[in-house]
Structures are given as C-alpha cells and as structure tokens.
Structure 1
Amino acid sequence: MSPQATESGTSLNRGLITVSIMLATIMQAVDTTIANVALPHMQGSMSATSEQIAWVLTSYIVAAAIMTPMTGFLSARIGRKRLFIASVTGFTITSLLCGVAGSLDQIVLFRLLQGIFGAGLVPLSQSVLLDTFPKEKHGSAMAIWGVGVMVGPILGPTLGGYLTEYYNWRWVFLINLPVGVLALAGILMFVPETEKMKRRFDLFGFTLLSLAIGSLQLLLDRGQSLDWFSSTEIIIETMVAAICFYMFIVHMMTAKEPFLEPGLFRDRNLVIGLVFIFIVGVVLLATLALLPPFLQNLMGFPVITTGEVLAPRGIGSMIAMLLVGRLVNRIDVRLLVGFGLTLTAISLFEMAQFNLNISPMALVHTGIVQGLGLGFVFVPLSTITFSTLDQRYRTEGTAMFSLMRNIGSSIGISVMVAWAARNTQTNHAVLGEQLTPFREPVQKLMEGQGVGMSSDQALAMLNGELTRQSAAIGYLNDFQAMAWMTLAAIPLILLFRGASRKPDGKDSGDSQKATPQEA
C-alpha cells in the first residue's frame, strides 16, 4: 500500500473517531445547562416546590462530580473503549428514563444515574483525541474538542428554551436519544481499545474524595437558599468537605497505591492548567447563570429572546477555536492564552457598564467578544496543560481537568449569585435613603405614572423600581469582580513550560491499539 493511501486511511479513521466522540461530548456538554430553563415547567408538571425541583439539577451535578475522578481508574481496569461504550449507553438510556419520568422521585433518581454515566464522557473524549492525533496536531484536536465542551453549555439554554416553549420539557432529555445512538455506533466501529491494567482500587481514598466533593457541591448548590452559615446543614457540609479533603491529601501522599497517583501533580503544566481551567469555569458558567435572570427578571426579556441574545456567545467561541486551532503550532500558546484572557476581561468590564436600557445589539457584541476570548483561552490551555504530561497519566489528567472546571463553575455560580443578592440588599438600603418626596426625580416619576406620592400604589411602585435598580447594580458588581479576577490570572501564564512543537513519534496516534501505559 502506498504511503499516500496509508495516510489517507489514517486521516479518514481519525475523522470518524473524532465525529463519534464529539457527538458524545456535545450531548453531555449541552445537558449541563439545557434543563435549567425547563425547571419551572417541570415544577408545575410534578407539583413540586422550588426546593424540591432544584434536586433535578443538584442530583446530576453531585453525581457527576463524584464519579469524574473515577474515570482514570475505570479506564485502566476495563479499557477505555469499554468504559466509553458503557458511559454513552447508560447516559442515553437514563436520558430516555428522565424524559418519561412520571414523578419527582423518578426524575431525581434518573438524573443522578445520568450524572454517574455522563461523568466520564468529557475526559474520555479528550483523552481519546490526544492519543488519536500526533503531538503536532494536538492544537487542532483540542480546537475540535473545545467546540463541544465550551459551546455546548452556552447553547444549552437556547435549545432548552426552544424545546420547552414549542414542544414539551420532556424533549430536553429525549433529544439525547438519536445523538447517543449515533455516538455509540461510531465508538463501537472506530475507536480502538486500550489494554487493561492491573490496579488495586483504593476504596478508602475514593470514599474520602467522594465525601469531600459531594459535600462541597451540596453546600455550594444549597448555600444561597439556606442562608449559608446560618444553616446547620451548610456548617456540617463545610466541615465534612474540609476534613475529607485534608485526609485525602495525606492519604494520597502516604499510601502505597493511592486512588490518585501523586506523580500526576508533579507535572507543573498540569497543575497550572488546573488553576486556569478553574478560573475559566468560574467566568463561563457564572456569567451564564447571571445573564438570564438579569435579562428576564430585570429587563423583561422572554425566554426565547434571552436564548437568542446569548447564542452569539457560542458563535464567538466557535470562531475563536477554529482560528486558534491553526495558530497554536505557529505562536507560543502562552501568548494566545494571554490574548484570550485580555479579551474576556474587556468584555466583562463592558458588561459592568450595562444598564437596564441596554440594547440587544450591545448584549450580542459583548457576548461575541467574551466568546472569542474564552475560545482563545480554552484551546491553547488544553494543549499546553497536557504537553508535558506522561501518557500513562493522560486519562486521569483529563478527568481532573474536567473536575476542576466543574468545581470552578459551581463555586463561581454560588459565590456570584450570593454576592449579587447581598449587594442588592445593601444597594436597596443606600439608594432608599436618597428617595424622599422632595427630590425632583421622584416627583417626576410619580407624576409620569399618574399617582399621588402618599398612595400605597405609589410606594409599592417606587419600591419595585428601587429593588430593580439595586439588583442591576449587584449584577454589574459581579461582572466587574470577574473582570479583575481574569486580569489577575494573566501573570500565571509565565509559570507554564513552553510546549515542544516537534513531532513525537511515540504520540503519533497511528497505532490502532494503545499500550498499557496509554490507558
């Protein structure tokens, strides 16, 4: 067979592998946010309270967070392809069960199972792509992978809002079925298997890490509704998380065969990359969590319009990833990360200047700029993080990469939502001191509404507008805080070791069967 035919066959095989695993990645990434907009409809259908229906999201988040670190161990024990097949099959079946659930208990249980099966999809897809493509093409591979991981959560609310508005909330789960079936067929036919490795399961270490992550996710998810540390539950969850994290680290450093090998964290690029992806998680998901209530509750946008305004953010990310995939082997990736962080910070500073009369085009503009910035960060960051990591740690490293992004998202959403709520109360008190019947703007407002200053209607209307403006300032303070945090992260780029751009024969990805170390 000629070299040209061999290369053509290899490229075709890589293309089919990429399509197959990206279907699974996009399915899981979209599912992280698609159900959010459907919660009110689900609440009415299930006759549930707001706190009860919130468990539809909480159960998924906690289960996925706990099971993500298991990806490396399970991949080594049963083989990466077998784990991928089991994950896609389980995720697709549980999506169907969520779509046909008849009670709140059923849907919470099925969402928990969906989180368990979906936890490994993103790290497995990243690991497969890194092993499939040669090292000099890792930038292009991460650009393809990043489209699914970054654009999925952005487009999730738009797709979820459309399906809920024009069809039924059950379709936010049922839409996974055709995607899951196609992904499964592709993985079965094209993805090569890795050799199984004998590795003892560290039950004690896994239990400590699971308790720590589960408690952290619970306190972050429920803290705002329970008023944080005035709640006994939150105090207990904080103590459990802190103690278990400490015990896990001590155990990992002293055990003979720990759940996570310490050698994983001796790679400087991986450690710095985990810090950066944590920050990306905070900025991306916290922004997406703040904008819908800002647009719907304060500016009066309907769900569909909110989705349409947010969608260009995903387009910006997609454009950036396609561009950076070509630049990553020509320009120092650290410069690309710095450029992306700068664009992200600029967009957040622009968002901090919003008001309640901002035009939809201004919202679209800042969304595109932020999407471009995050796209320029994500691809080179994914490339340089794993550029110096030993192949035998690859699946475990990608699992930690996904875990830190998810934890960053959870912490970012919880902290920013709580801070916005506290700032709203403070702003209400400060601004309220300035509202008197003798101030001309107050008099004009009342005259414009045709009501007297002494009427209850006037006071209620005035208080409503005061609350609205106070909340808006609270959101803008959040955007400004995230902008400064993004800028503060830029100097950390200097800690990265530069990635070699020379082809690496051992990492060529042409082999159809990985070695045990590649598991």
Structure 2
Amino acid sequence: MTSTTKPAPAVFPGAPAAGARVDARTWIAVAAGMLGAFMAVLDIQITNSSLRDILGTLSATQEEGSWISTAYLCAEIVVIPMTALFGRAFGVRRYMIGTTSLFLVFSTLCGAAWNLESMIVFRMLQGFTGGALIPMAMTLVMTRLPSSKRAVGMAIFGLTATLAPAMGPTLGGYLSEIYGWPSIFYINWVPGVLLIAGMIYGLDREPSQIRTLVNADWLGIGLMALGLGCLTIFLEEGNSKDWFDSEFIITFAALALVGILGWVATSFTRQQSFVNLRLYGQRNFLIATVLSAVTGMGLYGSSYLLPLYLGQIAGYTPMQIGEVIAWVGLPQLIVMPFAAALSSKVDNRIMCSFGLLLFGGSCLMNAYMDATTGYDQLMITQIVRAIGQPFVMLTLSNFAMNGIAPKDMPSASSLFNMTRNLGGSVGIAMLATSLTNREHFHSARLGESVSTYAAPTQERIDQMTQAFVASGIDPATAANQALAALDRIVRREAYVMAYNDGFFIVGAILIGCIAMVWLADKVKSPGGAGGGGH
C-alpha cells in the first residue's frame, strides 16, 4: 500500500484509491476549480457583443479593438503550459488563490480602462492570470478524485469547456445592455470570491518549492512564450491584415516558427522540462489533443459565426442573440450527467463518434440558412449541437488522461487545454478568412446573374422604383434608391451564402474526424459499475 503513494510528489499527488470516499472539502475544491475554468474561458469572448460600446468609450477603431480579445487569448495560451511549473513551485492552493486574486484586480482595471492601450495591457494581464485556472481545474479532478468519481469531475469540466464559449457573448450582451460594458469585467468578482473561498476551505496548505523556479528551463519557457504568443497574434490578426501580404504578419509567422521549433528542441534535449512534450508520443494522448484542437475550432467557430449572422443578417440585438445561443447551453446541463454515467459502460470511441456526428451534423444543418432564418429555425440545430458537445468533450478528456502517470497529469492537462484554445484561434482565423473570400466570390457570381441588362432585374428595379415614387420620392431619386436597395439585397444574400459555407466547412471537418477517433485504444471512464455505488 505505501509503495503506491510514496513516489507521488507532495503538490500533485496520485489520485486516491478507486473505492476511497470523497469528503465535502474535496468536492468544494473541485467545484471551485471548475468555476475558475468557466470564468477564464467565458472571458475570452465576453467582450465580443459589447465591443462597439467599449470602442466608443475608448475612441478606438474596429481594427484596433480586435487587440482587446487578441491580448487576452495570447497571454492565456502562453500561461497554460506553465501552470504545472507554477503549481509545483507555489503549491496548488497558494497558486490558485494568488492567480485568482490578481485576475480579479486586472478585471477591475479592465472595467476602469481610460484608453485603448491601458485596456490591452490589462486584458493581457487578465489572460495571464486567468489562463492558469483552466488546466488547474482538470488537474484537480485527476489528482483529488478517485477513479470511480472521475467521470463526474470530467463531466463538469466538459461543461465549462462547451458552455463558456457559447455563453460569453450572450452574458456580455445582457450585462452591457442593462448595466453598461464595465459590468462584464466587474461580474468576475462573484465567481472569483467563491473560488478563493472554496480553495481556502477545500485544499490543505502545501510546502512551496520555489527552488524549482530557479532551476526551471527558462530558455524553453521564453521560446514557448515567443512561439505561442506570435502564433496567436498571427492567427487573430491575419485576416484583417491580408495574411502574407502584410510584413507584420510575415514577421509574426517567422517568430512563431522559430519559437515553437526552439521550444520543442530544448524540451527534448533537457532532462527536466517545464512541461512534458514527450506525452505527444503516446497514441491516445496525441489523438485526443488533435481532436481537442478540432473541437475547439468547432466550439469557438460556431459561437463566432452564429452571433455574427444574427446581428448582421437578422438584425438581432445582443439580448435576442443571447436567447438563441442559450439553446446550445441549457440542454447540456441535462445531457452531461447522462453522458458521464454512460462513459463508464460504453466504449468511449462510440460515444465520441456519436457526439462528433451530432455536433458536425448541427453545423451542416446551419449550412442551409436564408435571410429569414431566425430563432424558430435555429432552435433545433442548437439543441442538436447541445446534445452532441458533451459526448465529445467528456470522452476526449478520458482519452487524453488514460494511462498518464500521476507526475505527468499537470503537463497532460496543460497541453490538452492549450491545443483546444489554439484550435479555437485557428478556427476563428479560418472562418474569418473564409467569410471574406466567399462573400466576394458569391457577390461576383450573383452580380453576374443580377445584371441591369437582364429582363427580371429590370422588372424588379421598375417595381421598386414605383414603390419609392408612390411614397412621395421624385422619380430620379427613386431610381437610385431602387438600385441601392437591390445592391444591398445582393450583398446580403452573398453574406448568407458565405455564412452557410463557413458552417459547412466546420461540419465537414468535425464529421471527417470521426475516423480518427477509431485510431485510439478502447477506453471507458474508470470506475465502471463500481463507481455507481459510492
């Protein structure tokens, strides 16, 4: 018995034995960790629906405003791989309390930002402190819960990963409309204080190992920060700057390549790296992280396209968009416990395939929208997506963590969550570019058909001109307004087709990845039937 527990480090112990009883303190600590992960993921996109108000207050342009989200995401992706090192150095309890406290301070400063530069700096610091909360929540599940309870923990963690990207713009829209945009940052105090209280009560004090910071692979950390930071900027800013037509983008692409290759090289030449990249050599973990990136692309991509479509084409307010998006969140609360119970009895490859089929299928259903598509038509696709997502996130977590040694749990959690966020960045970059290119393509094609020389077009222009004349406008102005109205209709239809293409791309990729699931080993959630009795 003692031989199984002795080698485990003090800060990241191996999980308790399968039949061990979990006390209330542990559950409170795990729940607090989940609250932190939800809050950190939520804040990635919470500014999206309030961006116009924020930019108006800070006197910034739309292009400059994109850095508000980029700064947060960039810092978050950089800090995620470093959480294992910081957790060892400060102890999980001290690190979680400290990073959450700083996150709340920087959130408050974001709400009080006086210009764009201050907002970008505070958002970056907010991302650096908040990003740690995502992998640490997963690490708490793997190291504090016995295997028989882990499916429940992973189910809750899966909810934070799937609900938060959808809820971010919704919550941001509601808060900014009712209380003003600074409230989207101040609201973090509610979950933040609960998280700190949960950590103080639920986790024991641990010895700090500050010496690990002195001996850390700082060259590798620097190269990682350079590579991931520049890659995020490259992906987030690429479309607005015309990709490789911009020297700015070429520079950041080159720096990203140098940084990532340098990080990989130093990781494999050092005995003790700050995060264990060798985990990618394990087949199940590699497949799970690749699929995690694809799922991140689907999660963030669909939550990027749909609000944009509803705002631009359907003319919905942030509140109305929130009512549509809510349907991708609420059913998950019912589905996730069912998926967790099933995961210990059914081959997780079957469950993941089912989830990807529903998730991808819901995106393909969205690929046939028209300008009249709204709440009623989208509710079904949102519910289908909500049923599929929990099956994917829960099973991918199980694949990733299957067979990982206790000492590597923090590294595995960091890499798994990092790739999901990077997948989200890739997905949004790809869809933003696709939207621009496909809108130009469809505009050109529709323009060829809707020619002023074509009889149906002439007939439609005459009808519209007569309608304007009947409303009291002089004939010359009425003719110009009819042409302008027709041009707007053509542009609107081109955008609808471009949004449809974007959903089709996401759906096709998600369904295409089902084949990859079957390259993984057969996995079930630990605990099996025995877990149900505790």
**Which TM-score applies when normalising by structure 2?**
0.89
Q: Where does residue 95 of structure 2 map in the other structure?
A: 83
C-alpha separation between the residues in 2 aligned to 1:263 and 1:50?
A: 41
Q: Where does residue 130 of structure 1 map in the other structure?
A: 142
Q: Where does residue 84 of structure 2 map in the other structure?
A: 72
C-alpha separation between the residues in 2 aligned to 1:193 and 1:415?
A: 45
C-alpha separation between the residues in 2 aligned to 1:258 and 1:130?
A: 21
C-alpha separation between the residues in 1 aligned to 2:246 and 2:303?
A: 27
Q: Where does residue 189 of structure 1 map in the other structure?
A: 201
Structure 1 residues 148-203: Cα deviation after superposition (integer angstroms, max 9, x where no partner): 22212211111111111111100000001122111101101112455656643111
Cα distance change of structure 1 residues 448 and 357 upon mapping to structure 2, 3 Å threshold: farther
Q: Where does residue 503 of structure 2 map in the other structure?
A: 479
C-alpha separation between the residues in 2 aligned to 1:218 and 1:8?
A: 46
In the TM superposition, what is the alpha-carbon distance from 1:395 to its structure 2 partner? 0.9
**Equivalent residue runs for 1:255-294 within 5 Å:** 255-294=270-309
**Equivalent residue runs for 1:40-439 within 5 Å:** 40-193=52-205, 199=212, 200-437=215-452, 439=454
C-alpha separation between the residues in 1 aligned to 2:283 and 2:95?
A: 28
Cα distance change of structure 1 residues 22 and 259 upon mapping to structure 2, 3 Å threshold: closer
Which residue, out of 27, 30, 34, partners 1:18?
30
C-alpha separation between the residues in 2 aligned to 1:133 and 1:440?
A: 72
C-alpha separation between the residues in 2 aligned to 1:193 and 1:384?
A: 31
C-alpha separation between the residues in 1 aligned to 2:126 and 2:526?
A: 41
C-alpha separation between the residues in 2 aligned to 1:139 and 1:8?
A: 15
Q: Where does residue 3 of structure 1 map in the other structure?
A: none
Structure 1 residues 135-154: Cα deviation after superposition (integer angstroms, max 9, x where no partner): 13221111112222221221
Identity %: 28
In the TM superposition, what is the alpha-carbon distance from 1:46 to its structure 2 partner? 1.1
In the TM superposition, what is the alpha-carbon distance from 1:89 to its structure 2 partner? 1.0
User: Structure 2: which amino acid aligns with 1:374?
Assistant: Q
1:492 aligns with 2:520: no
Does the CA-based 8 Å contact 1:267-1:389 persist in structure 2?
no
* 2:513 aligned counterpart, secondary structure: helix
C-alpha separation between the residues in 1 aligned to 2:237 and 2:153?
A: 37
In the TM superposition, what is the alpha-carbon distance from 1:297 to its structure 2 partner? 0.8
C-alpha separation between the residues in 1 aligned to 2:254 and 2:526?
A: 48
In the TM superposition, what is the alpha-carbon distance from 1:224 to its structure 2 partner? 1.3
Structure 1 residues 346-377: Cα deviation after superposition (integer angstroms, max 9, x where no partner): 11111111111124111111011112111111
In the TM superposition, what is the alpha-carbon distance from 1:436 to its structure 2 partner? 2.5
Bigger mean CA deviation after superposition, 294-303 or 445-454: 445-454
**Which TM-score applies when normalising by structure 1?**
0.91
User: Structure 2: which amino acid aligns with 1:62?
Assistant: C
C-alpha separation between the residues in 2 aligned to 1:178 and 1:408?
A: 29
Does the CA-based 8 Å contact 1:341-1:377 persist in structure 2?
yes
Does the CA-based 8 Å contact 1:98-1:107 persist in structure 2?
yes
Stretches of structure 1 lacking an aligned partner (at least 5 in a row): 1-6, 511-519
Stretches of structure 2 lacking an aligned partner (at least 5 in a row): 1-18, 469-474
Structure 1 residues 238-262: Cα deviation after superposition (integer angstroms, max 9, x where no partner): 1111222222222222233333334
Does the CA-based 8 Å contact 1:345-1:484 persist in structure 2?
yes
Does the CA-based 8 Å contact 1:316-1:375 persist in structure 2?
no
Which residue, out of 461, 466, 470, partners 2:494?
470
* 2:368 aligned counterpart, secondary structure: coil
RMSD between aligned residues: 2.2
In the TM superposition, what is the alpha-carbon distance from 1:501 to its structure 2 partner? 5.5
**Equivalent residue runs for 1:23-38 within 5 Å:** 23-38=35-50
In the TM superposition, what is the alpha-carbon distance from 1:447 to its structure 2 partner? 4.2
C-alpha separation between the residues in 1 aligned to 2:353 and 2:135?
A: 25
